[in-house]
Structure 1
Amino acid sequence: MPANSPNVDVVRLDAATVASANRSTYTPKTLPAAFFQTAGTDAGIYGVGSSPEPVVDRQIKPTALPMRTPPSAPVVPYRVGVGDVLLLSSPDAGNTVEELSGLLAAQNRRQGYTVQDDGAIAVPDVGRIKVAGLTLEEAEAQVFQRLISSQMDPSFSLEVSEFNSKRVSVGGAVSKPAVVPITLVSLTLEEALAAAGGISTRDEDYTLIRLYRDGELYEVPLTEYLKRPGVQKTRLAAGDSIFVDTTFELEDAQAFFTEQIALATYKQDAQIHALNQMNSAMNLRRSALEEARSNFLSRLELDSVDRDFVYLTGEVKTPSRFPLPFGKTASLADALFENGGSQNMTANPARVYVLRGQPGSDRITAYNLNYRDATNLVLATKFQMRPNDVVFLSEQPITKWNRVVQQLVPSLLTSSATLAAN
């Protein structure tokens, strides 16, 4: 028994002694990295490469030009946008010379502010003021409130000096392809064409004005445009794109879209090829990981892997060694019940011992668990095992007596038979 050995210190297990025993340092062994990696890690990135350059086919004049008149954009108040430059004019109490100079003094009090990416202007001593998406009246109200909050003179005027946020592009058969801004006044189709220097073509009968808006295409032959003042006065919207074609024909459009389909097919095939390459690389990596894991499991089965063990002996169903798990600790309950637990008929539940050597000494600590009171099994679930611990289950007193009797009875029977024969 552990208590009869002079080198053994018996410690009764309770919450305090369990906590004390668990404070001993121990780092569980870990599984190889192959068990934590996935086949997708570092599998590589595969691009589809560049697409072939488009090819322009020859053009044939059509017998008729399509006609689809664009609708006029609604008349709405101008809303400030990113890139616009706002001119803020405020009074500036100057000296008599400045007041007499009139225009010069007024110019010195005018400051332009660009609406930045976050939709705000940065005003010194005031901070950033959000104005994007507001009408001028709403923007003035916003600036007024910020000036009041900053305890500054709220007398000012606000105007847009540069319109950069809402524009219409004009290209194709025009004298000067341009980007035309939309200002406080609505921009019409004829004004946009005039800003680009007018239409420049030698064949009006086969010239087409094309307007792209929100994914829609509108087309007006130049001859019809010149005859319809209502079309000329069509109001444009921000983002409209106008392109003047001089030799538009349906076959060319069909060839263009056929070419686009071919390019899309090429890109799709290239993507499939890249995906197949990536899958092949992932399969190779997956196979390598599976091989590494399989090799480790084979070594583990052959007991060629360095492991930490706990040893079970005494009145257990199967005296054995219990391997401590990888990456985590195991409890006394894990060790007891992993291989079937104790012999119910012969084991003494009051005398379960965990024998643990004391570092740097020949002494042994015997932690005693009494689970005759079943609630003490909770302590077994909290007591952490350490490498080379020995779990010993003592026998019942009656078990010891029975074993003595079993050893003596055959001897007595043999002696009696010998005497009877003589």
Structure 2
Amino acid sequence: MRLFAALAVVASLAACGITPTIKSGDSAAGEVNIVAVTNETISTANASPYRPRTLPTIFSYSAGVGGAPMGAGALPAPAYSPESRPGELPTRLPDPYTPGPYMIGVGDVLLLSTPNSADTVEALTGLLAAQSQRQGYTVQDDGAIAIPEVGRIRIAGLTLEEGEAEIFQALVGNQLDPTFSLEISEFNSQHINVGGAVTTAVAVPVTLNTPTLSGVITAAGGVNLTDQDYASIRIYRDGSIYQVPMSVYLSDPKIQMMPMKNGDSVFVDTAYDLDKAAAYFAQQIQLATFRQTQRAAALTELTSEVALRRGELTERRSNFLSKVDLDAVTRDYVYVAGEVGVQSRFTLPFERTASLADALFTEAAGVPSEMGTLSQLYVVRANSNGPGVIAWHLDASNAASLVLATKFELRPNDVVFVSENPVRSAQRIFNIVATGFDVIDTAAGI
């Protein structure tokens, strides 16, 4: 009878040594379906709906700035209103102009140069006298110049080359030596007028070198503006007015080098009254000086208000964290069981998801090799489509598979389970059997 009692004790001890594991089929929780965790199935596991809990809004607030305005209070109406500045002026340029050779005109002074020889002096006494004294020949109102012993030669409207040809024919017709050169000593027939906000209003003559827009402005001494941002250059040409904002003119070399045409008028203009603006700004400086006496007190008050708000936010955040420490805040949990370093309840974080690796290698302290086996990692999750559970099985006997643990997202009330190492399990059973035989031996001796 005592022998049967000893055998019952051994059977009882052996039953206590049974190692829990995950098996497919029926269970108290319903049917268990084991699914291997792979790169293909992990997206299905992560597709289950879940929204992490959020932190209270106090963690999104900042102390901010003061509420009600502080300072000197209401001020009397200003004596000057802000001077309204004009909007951005459009750029309107004249059609491209390609200058041709210079045309001799009424008022131009021409200079004839001839060889200095005795024969020529005797033949062209008047001409050489004019040349030797640097006296030129002015183009008269009828477009002609009068050369002694030659007569009047009409050359207005001709180029220098054409004018030389006319004078050559006149000298030959009067049986005079036609050896000479022709040049213009004074350009008086063509002008470009420059005025407005320049140093000196001037009429710039058109010469053999066609003047440019920047050249005529420079000839007038440059612009004379206090504020170039609101100035413009207006060009009157052939009955039309064109304009270029000063800022555009200064930044565009092509506009600066635009060739000017006889009869053009250039006017530098500004539509902004700087005197009134200066008075308004002086007024604002006085107001700023008046407010300066109130600024120190206002800044002190503002600093105090911000400090109070910061203190309130700090206290409210501290109170919430204390509730978290006391487990008085509703949280989502995952339960870690089996052969891990520490069986524990893993708290899902705020505002983000956690992975299987997070649960295994934080509070659970990993999987000790002498206790558990990485080939039998399970995440047991209730089936969202009906009764039963799904056991997601990760075989990490190849350590590279642990990468999948970092991708597998946990859900509230998941159970992470690690099976026992087979060697440890066999050792446990051996110890129990040995204990049973000791009990039998003891019972037999009684």
Per the shorter chain, which TM-score range?
A: 0.5 to 0.7
**Structure 1 392/50 Cα, relative in aligned 2: closer, same or farther at 3 Å?**
closer
| Equivalent in 254, 266, 271 of residue 159 of structure 1 | 266
Aligned to 1:332: 356
Q: What is the aligned-residue RMSD (CA, Å)?
A: 4.0
C-alpha separation in 2, matches of 1:323 and 1:345: 27
**C-alpha displacement at 1:28, in angstroms?**
0.9
Written as runs of structure 1 = structure 2, the 5 A alignment for 1:31-46 is: 31-40=55-64, 43-44=66-67, 46=69
| Equivalent in 347, 367, 371 of residue 372 of structure 2 | 347
Written as runs of structure 1 = structure 2, the 5 A alignment for 1:336-375 is: 336-339=360-363, 340-375=365-400
Written as runs of structure 1 = structure 2, the 5 A alignment for 1:3-402 is: 3-6=23-26, 7-40=31-64, 43-44=66-67, 46-49=69-72, 76-78=221-223, 81=228, 82-83=230-231, 86=234, 88-90=236-238, 109-111=239-241, 119=246, 130-131=248-249, 142=258, 157-160=264-267, 163-164=269-270, 264=289, 267-339=291-363, 340-402=365-427
Name the larger-Rg structure. Answer: 2
Letter matched to residue 405 of structure 1: F
**C-alpha displacement at 1:357, in angstroms?**
1.4
Aligned length: 273
C-alpha separation in 1, matches of 2:242 and 2:375: 91
**Structure 1 394/272 Cα, relative in aligned 2: closer, same or farther at 3 Å?**
same
**Structure 1 19/142 Cα, relative in aligned 2: closer, same or farther at 3 Å?**
farther
**Structure 1 405/76 Cα, relative in aligned 2: closer, same or farther at 3 Å?**
same
CA contact (8 A) 2:24 2:34 kept: no
Unaligned runs of 5+ in 1: 54-71, 91-108, 121-129, 145-153, 170-178, 180-238, 242-259
**C-alpha displacement at 1:304, in angstroms?**
1.6
**C-alpha displacement at 1:269, in angstroms?**
4.4
SS in 1 for 2:43: helix
C-alpha separation in 2, matches of 1:168 and 1:408: 107
**C-alpha displacement at 1:143, in angstroms?**
8.6
For each residue in 1:240-287, what CA deviation from the matched residue of structure 2 results, as whole angstroms up to 9, or x when unmatched? Answer: 99xxxxxxxxxxxxxxxxxx99x95x7444212111111111111111
Query: TM-score under structure 1 normalisation?
Result: 0.55
Aligned to 1:2: 22
**C-alpha displacement at 1:20, in angstroms?**
2.3
For each residue in 1:8-43, what CA deviation from the matched residue of structure 2 results, as whole angstroms up to 9, or x when unmatched? Answer: 221112211122212222211111111122212x54
**C-alpha displacement at 1:87, in angstroms?**
5.1
Aligned to 1:215: none
CA contact (8 A) 2:369 2:421 kept: no
Unaligned runs of 5+ in 2: 1-20, 77-198, 201-217, 280-284
Query: TM-score under structure 2 normalisation?
Result: 0.52
CA contact (8 A) 1:51 1:267 kept: no
Letter matched to residue 274 of structure 1: A
SS in 2 for 1:334: helix
**C-alpha displacement at 1:418, in angstroms?**
3.3
**Structure 1 139/375 Cα, relative in aligned 2: closer, same or farther at 3 Å?**
closer
SS in 2 for 1:21: helix
